[in-house]
Amino acid sequence: MSEAELLFSEVAQYLRPEDVAQLKVAYSFGQGAHSGQFRKSGEPYISHPLAVARILGGLHLDAPTLTAALLHDVVEDTHISKEEISERFGNPVAELVDGVSKLDKIQFQTQEDAQAENFRKMLLAMARDVRVILIKLADRLHNMQTLEAMPAEKQRRISRETLEIYAPIALRLGLNNIYQELQELGFRYSYPLRYRVLIKATKAARGNRREVVGKIQDAITNKLKEAGLDFQVSGREKHIYSIYRKMVEKQLSFSEVLDIYGFRVIVNDIPSCYVALGALHALYKPIPGKFKDYIAIPKENGYQSLHSTLLGPFNIPIEIQIRTQEMHRIAEDGVASHWIYKSSDANLNDLHMKTSQWLQSLLEMLSDTSDSLEFLEHLKVDLFPGDVYVFTPQGRIMTLPRGSTAVDFAYAIHSDIGNCCVAVKINGENAPLRSELKNGDRVEIITAPYAKPNPSWLGYVTTGRARSHIRHFLRTIQYEESVELGERMLNQALAALNIESSLISEAQWEKLVRDIGAKSRKALLADMALGKQLPAVIAKRLASPRESEESKHVSSEPITILGTEGLTVQFAKCCHPIPGDIILGLIKKEQGLVIHMNNCPIIAQNKKNAENYLDVAWGKDITRTFEVKLRIVAVNRHGVLARIAAAIAKTESNIDDVDMESEKDYTAMSFVLQVRNRYHLAQVIRNLRRIKEVARITRI
Ligand code: MN
């Protein structure tokens, strides 16, 4: 019989005749599409999809899965479109083929995080239809079975990927047979030398073992017969890869690993499991702490069995698994056993429901940080728990640390996107930039060409990347502002020496910058604004000695303060100067220029260091508002605060903050208000005095 005939006869045992007929049509269609294509081994290409379909047929999967398996490489490797498959074989088959093609496009890279990203894609695909994953696993299994034909380099890459990505997925889905085989083949091609050595050693050891295994198996058989059970018992051969892993992980020698004997007992029903357990515990002494009841508490992937380790003759450890036929099927084929073809549609739907519920719980487990550990154990990729996976508008997956916001996302795409972002749409809806992103969100950043980062973003970004970009941007802005102010400060200091700044030559500047050890003229100017260099000192060094001596007492124009100097000029929080007040500038180290009121106590404290003072004056036409603090004492009466607030609002001043202290008859209120200047403040105070409950108003 040909491979194709084998497939049709195998599936005829559980599929309806019309489904088998459709498979035959799909087979010839695939054969035609792939005609002229060959595998590395020299076989016609169709042999591969055929083998994949047979693997899935062995799991008794439904007709659409098998049809899609036969066609799984058609869209990717031939000119046939998804639409054509949909027309010929129906949309469910086309969707499955499309799903597999999409997985094929994912290139696993060596970097761990890229793998994590892709793995997530697989999970998302799986949530839609687990059959896509099953086809992909069968595809991978057959590719591994035929890996011999590939060049060594490719063998290594594909087998590592199999060990790191596909085998753990198979395990998670409970596909034990596929898992074992993927691991075995993955190990064989990843570590060819170790594999050969272990194969040889196992063969040699098997002779001695056979005798011991036979003896123990006889003892078990007799004991279970005594108990009146209907059962099958078999010795379990250890897989090469699991021997290897035990040697590495538990630091055991080859003979120590091999000295553990495994037996499996299969009985008819659950009560018999416990009867068999009792009988075997009576035969050999159980090792304390090794008994596990996975019947009462099944594993997450649905696995059920009783596990126990006994101490056999000559103190040989014996691992025992006891289970029913049904449990055995699930243990071997896992999720696929939920998918077994049933002709009754009601049953099918029920199974679909169960499977999708199971998948749902799997996905929930994956997103739940605390319970994912068991799964993590089997995954080399660092997926959880700290990450969140979101989509770009183009469907690319971005991995961000959990807690990341839309701003983090914007900077993760590109610093220019981050610097210019103004709004965000999450899953098509407008959302605040501070919104925390959730798994699976589709995030679209809206930018504006003249937008700038806001210092408040630093309060809610999570990624270092976003933080450093925002900081860098703010620093750059502040630097430009500082240079500008430094220049004005220097000009004033030069004027005090009767020197016109434009008369200072390039050479003089260069010499000064060199002498001081500054990076550049700009850097020196910025340092002055930031209080790291004193303008008076720099001015003197720029001036020739003769000139500076003569012009010591000539007064100069003060620096005008416009309120638009940005972060470079600060207004003192102690005295809250506003336009109209007489002011004085104080240059503070590392802080730059701070504007105080002339009569501020801080000024009096610093009088000694005259060089730190700067003559400043308010400019004309200042448009911004300034903070001012007012203390208002009012008689306690209903509605007083409301009347005060209304009076303030009437003068177009904003209240930033209010603080109240009530005594028996009076309330003292501290307001932080925004006013344009002294005139504006006077208006506010005038309005407040009209309220008869207000007893006293003082500016702090
Ligand atoms: Mn394939």
CA 343 / ligand 1 centre spacing (Å): 29
Q: Which residues does 165 contact at the CB level (< 8 Å), separation at least 6?
A: 108, 115, 118, 119, 381
Which among 482, 493, 476 has a CA at the least distance from the CA of 526? 482
Q: What is the CATH number of the domain that holds 337?
A: 3.30.460.10
Q: Where among 342, 366, 389 does a domain terminate?
A: 342
Do 161 and 19 reside in the same domain of the chain? yes
The residue with tokens 């005090």 is: 496
CA 13 / ligand 1 centre spacing (Å): 25
CA 61 / ligand 1 centre spacing (Å): 18
Cα torsion 353, 357, 363, 366: sign: negative
DSSP label of 436? B
Strands (E), 392-468: 397-401, 421-426, 429-431, 443-447
- Which ranges of 162-253 would DSSP assign to H, the alpha helix? 167-172, 176-190, 192-226, 240-250
CB neighbours of residue 32 within 10 Å: 12
Let me know if 218 is exposed, middle or buried by CB neighbors in 10 A (0-12, 13-18, 19+). exposed
Prior bond to 385 cis, omega within 30?
yes
Which among 360, 311, 389 has a CA at the least distance from the CA of 115? 389
The phi and psi torsions of 264 (rounded to 5 degrees) equal -125, 130
Q: What is the CATH number of the domain that holds 394?
A: 3.10.20.30
Catalytic residue status for 269 = no
Give CA–CA dist 634/647, Å, rounded. 14
The strand pair at 317-324 and 306-311 is best described as antiparallel
Q: Where among 563, 585, 618 does a domain terminate?
A: 618
The phi and psi torsions of 647 (rounded to 5 degrees) equal -65, -40
Give CA–CA dist 485/489, Å, rounded. 6
Do 209 and 275 reside in the same domain of the chain? yes
CA 23 / ligand 1 centre spacing (Å): 17
**Backbone Cα Rg of the chain:** 40
Give CA–CA dist 532/548, Å, rounded. 22
Do 203 and 186 reside in the same domain of the chain? no
CA 556 / ligand 1 centre spacing (Å): 84
Instruction: Please give the torsion angle defined by the CA atoms of residues 89, 90, 94 and 95, in that order, rounded to the nearest 10 degrees.
Output: -150
The SS3 assignment for 553 reads: coil
The residue with tokens 């770009």 is: 392
Structural tokens at position 468: 């450093």
Amino acid at 639: G
Q: What angle do CA 333, 339, 343 make, to 5 degrees?
A: 135
CA 70 / ligand 1 centre spacing (Å): 9
pTM exceeds 0.75 for this model: no
CA 166 / ligand 1 centre spacing (Å): 14
pLDDT < 50 regions, the chain: 107, 109-118, 120-122, 125-127, 339-385, 546-554
Cβ pair 52, 142 in contact under 8 A: yes
Give CA–CA dist 168/242, Å, rounded. 14
CA 164 / ligand 1 centre spacing (Å): 19
Catalytic residue status for 76 = yes
Cβ pair 192, 160 in contact under 8 A: no
CA 300 / ligand 1 centre spacing (Å): 30
Do 156 and 215 reside in the same domain of the chain? no
CA 83 / ligand 1 centre spacing (Å): 20
What is the pLDDT at residue 336? 59
CA 28 / ligand 1 centre spacing (Å): 17
Structural tokens at position 648: 């303030």
Do 336 and 443 reside in the same domain of the chain? no
Q: What is the CATH number of the domain that holds 128?
A: 1.10.3210.10
Range of the domain at 256: 195-342
The residue with tokens 């073809």 is: 341
CA 332 / ligand 1 centre spacing (Å): 23
CA 48 / ligand 1 centre spacing (Å): 7
Do 296 and 260 reside in the same domain of the chain? yes
Region of 94 (left: φ > 0; alpha: ψ -120 to 50; beta: rest) is alpha
Q: How far is CA 547 from CA 108, 279, 535, 540, 551, in A?
A: 74, 112, 17, 9, 6
- Count of domains observed in the chain: 5
Do 646 and 583 reside in the same domain of the chain? no
Give CA–CA dist 468/412, Å, rounded. 12
Do 462 and 568 reside in the same domain of the chain? no
Q: Where among 578, 597, 618 does a domain terminate?
A: 618
Give CA–CA dist 521/510, Å, rounded. 8
Do 280 and 380 reside in the same domain of the chain? no
Do 376 and 438 reside in the same domain of the chain? yes
Cα torsion 599, 604, 605, 606: sign: positive
Structural tokens at position 45: 């290409």
Q: What angle do CA 459, 465, 469 make, to 5 degrees?
A: 75
Do 282 and 306 reside in the same domain of the chain? yes
CA 138 / ligand 1 centre spacing (Å): 9
Do 359 and 508 reside in the same domain of the chain? no
> Helices 112-128 and 345-367, interaxial angle, to 10°?
150
What is the pLDDT at residue 514? 85
3-state helix, strand, coil in the chain (%, to 5): 55, 15, 30
Q: Which of 43, 77, 319, 332 is catalytic?
A: 77
Give CA–CA dist 77/141, Å, rounded. 19
Q: What is the CATH number of the domain that holds 643?
A: 3.30.70.260
> Helices 152-161 and 176-190, interaxial angle, to 10°?
140
DSSP label of 413? H
Let me know if 437 is exposed, middle or buried by CB neighbors in 10 A (0-12, 13-18, 19+). buried
The SS3 assignment for 200 reads: helix
Structural tokens at position 564: 């638009």
Q: Which of 18, 43, 62, 76 is catalytic?
A: 76
